[in-house]
């Protein structure tokens, strides 16, 4: 299965995304993903040391800045 197909299966669920740069981790509800793995998250929060530090709301993440995508088990 291609990575984009696996990500499409996660649409509608909560995910954590690790970004390039300052090792930023975001957690939110995955609303959509395209073929380039650009992601649209809602109810997004920044996670620092395992705790949510600030609420960002709706964000769009560019696929080439994403390191890791994990589903969140509530």
CATH code for the domain of 35? 2.30.30.100
Name the helix (H) or strand (E) containing 6. Answer: helix 3-9
Spatial distance between the Cα atoms of 74 and 65, rounded to a whole number of angstroms: 26
The Cα 74–Cα 58 span in angstroms is 20
pLDDT in tens, the chain (74 residues): 567 788 989 999 999 999 998 778 999 999 999 989 999 999 999 998 888 899 999 999 999 999 999 999 86
Query: What pLDDT, on the 0 to 100 scale, is given for residue 73?
Result: 85
Q: How many domains does the chain have?
A: 1
pLDDT over 90 percentage in the chain: 70
The 10 Å CB-count burial string (b at 16+, else e) for 20-59 is: eeeeebbbbbbeebeeebebbbeebbbbeeeeeeeeeeee
Boundaries of domain holding 31: 3-71
């Amino acid at each position: 299965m291609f990575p984009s197909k696996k990500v499409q299966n996660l649409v509608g669920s909560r995910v954590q995304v690790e970004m390039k740069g300052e090792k930023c981790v975001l957690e939110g509800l995955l609303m959509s993903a395209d073929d380039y793995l650009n992601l649209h998250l809602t109810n997004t929060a920044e996670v620092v040391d395992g705790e949510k530090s600030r609420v960002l709301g709706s964000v769009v993440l560019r696929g080439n800045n994403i390191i890791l995508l994990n589903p969140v088990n509530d």
